[in-house]
Amino acid sequence: MRDVAIIGVSQTKFGELWDTSFRDMITEAGLKAIGDAGIEGADLEAMFVGNMSAGLFVEQEHIASLIADQAGLNPIPCTRVEAACASGGLALRSGIMAVASGYHDVVISAGVEKMTDVVDPTPVISTAADQEWEVQQGASFPSLYAMMARRHMHEYGTTREQLAMFSVINHKNGFLNPLAQFPMKITVDQVLNSSMVADPLRLLDCSPITDGAAAVILCPAEDARKYTDTPIYVKASAQASGTIGLHERRDITTIDATVHAARMAYKMAGLKPQDIDVAEVHDCFSINGLLAIEDLGFVEKGKAGPAVEDGITERDGKIPINPSGGLKSRGHPLGATGIAQTAEIVWQLRGEAGKRQINGLEIGMTHNIGGTGGTAAVHIFSN
Ligand code: COA
């Protein structure tokens, strides 16, 4: 296997983008990443694009063909990758494997979702859960995560305020991110008084409905300095699966797919949780941010609530989490999220994250999950 490097990244503005179509967003992200890498479109040998549900959100399937055509990339192979909200993370992993194996040299991995054109996105998002056993019985994504939150509160004494703190810290970071959907500061009181979505989760515990795209350019590590002075190296790419339904889990306060993917990633990189300097984790709901820092090994099981309250996940804390603002503040265009997380870690490791820059970073991680944890992708990067 060859070592792989990232030589270019991009993200579009995230938000409710009325004047930008699906095809415009992904083309913008692709062109910006190509520009960032200082290459030509003609240098690309393959494209992988993460997308959860263009068929239901914008009534367009066969998006790999659409995108290659629109971007002027024909005839290179372009492949759609789908694993619900982890589609972006898996598109990245597909690109990494294509370069590592020697099959291709310069590859683009991207992600895109346009979610705001449907009247009710909740049933579309719910297709990532078990239709027969969960959704048809009345469950939705907020209600499934609400059950995980309730159980975590019951088992470990996690408080409503501690859940809220996760959102507050995300928004404090997202306030500094010009590409974020909701770049505003919020308080614990505002979270606790925002409208109820699925008890105990309120509006400000939830990631929003988002349009957006992001892209990264990969090449063999040995070639990276031909293109850039600041290559970012892929130290590990891991993926694991878990049960799609919550009712099949041994414990609904642990996402086993994350635990397995993290274990593989640490082994591959020869690193431990305490070696990670910064991480972008999948906080589609505040509870999932807490579960992530436990399942990735940053804090002991059940201790995420007090740890967040103590500020260890702040930008100047022991393990800075979601300097971008996370899914909560940056936004969560499902198929684009895993790639946007990667773009943020690359900017942080290059020292290009503007006002939200954390100094002295060497090792960064991304954690992207699909559904309520049926799929998890964990990547580790270094500068
Ligand atoms: N955070 C902060 N503000 C939000 C928000 C969020 N997550 N979602 C919406 N808002 C704001 C809107 O901008 C709007 O503000 P305005 O009145 O000033 O214009 C207001 O709240 C109401 O927005 P609306 O679009 O009517 O909200 P909604 O009630 O239809 O949807 C949720 C809110 C939380 C239900 C929806 O965002 C949601 O389903 N999120 C979860 C998405 C999800 O499951 N993703 C996959 C996870 S795996």
Does 379 qualify as catalytic in the annotation?
no
The dihedral built from the CA positions of residue 209, 34, 218 and 42, taken in this order, carries a sign that is positive
CATH of 122-206+234-382, one of 3.40.47.10, 3.30.465.10, 3.20.20.70, 3.60.21.10: 3.40.47.10
Query: Which part of the chain is CATH 3.40.47.10?
Result: 4-120+210-226, 122-206+234-382
What was the pLDDT predicted at 163? Answer: 98
Q: Quick check: CB of 186 below 6 Å from ligand 1?
A: no
Q: Quick check: CB of 197 below 6 Å from ligand 1?
A: yes
Q: Quick check: CB of 208 below 6 Å from ligand 1?
A: yes
> pLDDT tier at 264 (50, 70, 90 boundaries)?
very high
What was the pLDDT predicted at 63? Answer: 98
113-137: pLDDT as tens digits: 999 999 999 999 999 999 999 999 9
**Angstrom distances, CA of residue 333 to CA of 73, 100, 111, 212, 353:** 24, 28, 9, 6, 21
What was the pLDDT predicted at 317? Answer: 97
One of 85, 206, 219, 284 is an active-site residue; which one?
85
Domain 4-120+210-226 CATH assignment equals 3.40.47.10: yes
Q: How far apart are CA 353 and CA 190, in angstroms?
A: 28
* Neighbouring C-beta atoms of residue 24, cutoff 10 Å: 15
- Residues in Cβ contact with 14 at an 8 Å cutoff, skipping those fewer than 6 apart: 179, 180, 181, 210, 211, 212, 330, 331, 333, 336, 340
State pTM to two decimals. Answer: 0.98
Determine the Cα angle at 11 with ends 337 and 180, to 5°.
Answer: 75
Does 104 qualify as catalytic in the annotation?
no
Dihedral in degrees, nearest 10, Cα atoms 225, 229, 230, 231: -10
Q: Which of 87, 130, 207, 282 to mutate to test the pocket of ligand 1 (most atoms within 8 A of CB)?
A: 207
